[in-house]
Structure 1
Amino acid sequence: MVNNIADSIEKIPLSALNQYVYCPRRCYLIHAEGEFTDNVHTESGSREHERVDTLLHEIKQDVRIEFALPVWSDRLGLTGRCDVVEFRSDGIVYPVEYKHGKRKKWLNDDLQLTAQALCLEEMLNVSVSFGAIYHIQSRRRREVEIDSDLRKTTESLIIEIRSLLDQSRCPSPIADKKRCPDCSLNSLCQPELINEIRRIKYWSDQLFDVSEEEWDSL
């Protein structure tokens, strides 16, 4: 378990967990270097969040719903806000994270939701056993059990992210054909170019030791 570290370090934004699992380099560029650029995906997500960001609270069927609720954890050194938190009449506290796109399980979304649950538990002295991801495009919720595995993974990732953001060098790009093209920082990150330069340098260093098979693989 992580000890209380509030007095010794700057708090990590909750969104950093989502960014880190998606791509450590993106996480570093945003949260260590302050770089961010919108694209069609991020702009669409921002528009879809407008209702959540502008409302304060409402009551539906004995459920008090708080929007854009600030949360934090002194123990873990986290800060951020929950898109929606439902306070139900039976005492259940239920966080809901809004995400762009269709209903689909993404680990990075579940970890961000788990971090929100950990913050709420510490702030309110309650147990948060479940939450949900609301997929805006399909207008459907996907319930997530905040189990021990998610909790352990989340706390371990917080340590990794803190170590990443404390270092002075940006991590290497991943050059993932599925994720990189849709990333809003693609033009800044330039993953394909950087990896190609490193590939050329590697083979240049190995020039006199390259076998025929290795040359054929170029």
Structure 2
Amino acid sequence: MRLTIAIDGPAAAGKGTLSRELARAFDLAHLDTGLIYRATGRRTLDGTGALEAAQTLTAADLEADDLRTPDVARAASVVAAIPEVRAALVDFQRAFARRQGGAVLDGRDIGTVICPEAEMKFFVTASDEVRAERRFVELKEGGHDVTFDTVLADLRERDARDSARATAPLKPAEDAEVLDTSEMDIDAVVATAIAMVTARTGLKPVA
């Protein structure tokens, strides 16, 4: 059975960590689709047009060491709201999702647009304050000079933009399992998700 797992949700909800752990547990390939948009946004900060940046994106662009900065996150949200940019990146994501052996993809429109036929869908969320605290700690540990209030404001601004955009807005797929991680540690989130995948598909973790 080919298994595609689609994981959506807002920033710092824990979907990236969950995606990596599910990929490991079920021996699936993993794609953080947010990196595609971050890399595209990163190139626009250097003066490249958004559509050109998307159309000429390379694997090397995804390896840049500054894709997690606040400036790049804002740029990613801006380019992600451009329909032509999203269209330019759709085929790559869909091909990855249906690769032999299966895959886990996480982003903001995986279950609704990129992989509406995915065998398993999750929408991972958490309260604004919890997500801001997680991102604040991550950025501080990375040496960035930020405040909690600034991080919280940035997250809320990005959530509003991602949810309100006309093309592929951030929202749960109708058949997605919603996981609120506000009061769950990552071990509990992963265990819950693995149990849901097994219940839905009959597949058991291999790792």
Larger fraction in strand = 1
Larger fraction in helix = 2
Same fold? TM cut 0.5: no
Structure 1 or 2, whichever has the larger Rg, is: 1
TM-score by length of 1: 0.32
TM-score by length of 2: 0.33
More relative contact order, 1 or 2 (CA 8 Å, 6+ apart): 2
